[in-house]
Amino acid sequence: MLTTRKPMKRSGFLRRTPGDRSESLESREARLQDRARRQLASAQATAHLLPDLTRAAAGAARVVTVAKEDIQTSEAYRRAVAGLRCIWCGIEGYSQHAHLNLGKGFGLKTDDRTGFPLCCTRPGVEGCHVAYDQYRLVSGGRDAHRAYGVEWGRITRDEILSLGLWPSNLPRWP
């Protein structure tokens, strides 16, 4: 528990010493149990909003594993794409491999072969990559961004092939 001691110089927070434990063990346990009850009630109230989850008999949720697509990743391909000029503004030397904004999610990326070169942010200039990821590069919303991204991926694959930079261990795009 915080005491009314002199505040620390920079933060304004009160100091806590190891002996400052005015909260009893019983009250702490009661507080933690109350918090756990609230969190469980909240999870149960919103469980119907998560269609991909299986409900256990006790009401707790368990994640169902979903088979992932056969996504190809290749550092050599990403580096080859990054070596090209930005497909939007045409600047050379600042490109990054940008993934298509389709099928991405937390911890998921799309196939590297669908990527294309967009320039990075540099001092004083916001790069095209950031604007693309935030759906601000192309007018017309998310669908327009995705349509451009699909076409840019095709153009990039053709360019990598024509330059002879396609990695030998990476399967060709179907």
**166 pLDDT higher than 60:** yes
Confidence of residue 28 (pLDDT cuts 50, 70, 90): confident
**64 pLDDT higher than 90:** no
In this prediction, residue 78 carries a pLDDT of 96
In this prediction, residue 169 carries a pLDDT of 94
User: Structural domain boundaries of the chain?
Assistant: 25-63, 75-162
116: burial class by Cβ within 10 Å (0-12, 13-18, 19+)? buried
26 or 34, greater pLDDT? 34
Its pTM stands at 0.59
| Strands in 2-66 per DSSP E | 53-55, 61-63
Distance of CA 139 to the CA centre of its chain: 23
> pLDDT for 66-112, tens place per residue?
445 678 999 999 999 999 999 999 999 999 999 988 766 666 778 99
Q: What is the mean pLDDT of residues 117-136?
A: 94
Phi, psi of 117 (to 5 degrees): -85, 125
